[in-house]
Amino acid sequence: MKTLVDHHIHILEKSVLNSESLDRYWQRAQKNQIGFLGFSEHAYLFQQAESINFNQWQKNKQVFDLEKYYRVLAGFRQKTPGILIGLEVDFYPERLAETRAFIEYCRCCYDFDFLSGSVHWIGDWGIDLDKESYHEKMSSEQTVREKYNQYYDLIEQMIETRLFDLVCHLDLIKIFGAVDPGNEKFWNLIKILKQNDQALEVNINGLNKPIQEPYPGFGFVKKCLEQSIPITLSSDAHEESRVGEHFDITIKELRNLGLKNLIYYEAGQRKKLFI
C-alpha cells in the first residue's frame, strides 16, 4: 500500500496531549494511508515563545509548555516511526531577531523533525480570524490589491530568511474569498522558492473555507512542479477527525499534474516519498 504524508496538524487546543490521544490521531492517519504524520503546533501557544509573540491575542494563548509538548510527542515517536515533530512559527518582521533566537533554541535543545513558517498577520490584522474584519479590510479593489501585495511581500521575506523548512499555506490571504486581482508578486514567489531551495505545502484546509480551493491552488502548484520545487501535503487539521481530509481527491489532482513524490522532514533532513 502506498503511504502519504500529512505534514501539518494541530492537537493542543482541541485535545489533551497524551499517548491515548496521539494513538487516536495515528489510527486515523493510517486509515487514510498516511505513513508520516507531522505535528506542527502553533509556536505562539507556548510560554517559551513569549519573546516572539507580538500581540495580546497571542499572549492570551501562550499557556502551554514546549518541553512537555516535545517530551510527550518524542515518547510516542520512539515507538511509532512516522511521527514527525514540528512547530508552525509565525513570521513577523518586527520580531525577526527574536524569531531567529527562538528557532536556534528549538534546533539546539530539541530534536524537532521540522520547523515550518507561516504568515497569519499583516501588522495588527489577523487575516484568518474573522470574515467581518476581513471584508472590512478588503472593501475595494484598491485595498484588496494593497493587502495582497503586503501579504506576498511578507511571504517573500519569510522565504528569504531561510529559517524554516516549509512554507505553510502560501496564499492564506484568499481565505474568505477576496480574489487576487492578478499579482506579479504571487507568481514571482516560485522563483523565490526555487532560489532558496524552499519546500512548499499544499494545504487542503482552503477547501473548507469560502475560497474552496487548496493553498496554493493547482495552477500555482503546477508551475512549482515544472520548477521541481519540493511539495508536501497537509490537512492543517485541528482535530483528529480531519487528519488526511480531502487527500484522495487532492492526490488524484496532483498526480494528474505530474507529481511523483511528496517530501517530508525527518530529523531536519528532507526525504522523498514516492506516491
Interface positions with Zn ion (CB under 5 A) = 88, 118, 236
CB of 217 to Zn ion, least distance (A): 17
> Shortest Cβ distance from residue 208 to Zn ion (Å)?
13
Residue 7 vs 28, nearer CB to Zn ion: 7
Cα–Cα distance, 262 to 200 (Å, whole number): 10
145 vs 209 by CB, closer to Zn ion: 209
Residue with Cβ nearer Zn ion (157 or 257) = 157
Reference 198, options 247, 155, 138, 137; nearest CA is 155
Could you give the CA distance from residue 272 to residue 144 in angstroms, rounded to a whole number? 37
Helices 19-31 and 66-79: crossing angle in degrees, nearest 10, is 50
CB of 141: closest distance to Zn ion in angstroms?
Answer: 27
Distance CA 82, CA 93 (A): 33
222 vs 239, beta carbon nearer Zn ion = 239
Residue 217 one-letter amino acid: G
Closest to Zn ion by CB, 88 or 113? 88
Of residues 147, 170, 270, the one with CA closest to residue 223: 170
Task: Give the span between the Cα atoms of 15 and 258, in whole angstroms.
Answer: 37
Smallest gap from residue 258 Cβ to Zn ion (A): 27
How far apart are CB 39 and Zn ion at their closest, in Å? Answer: 11
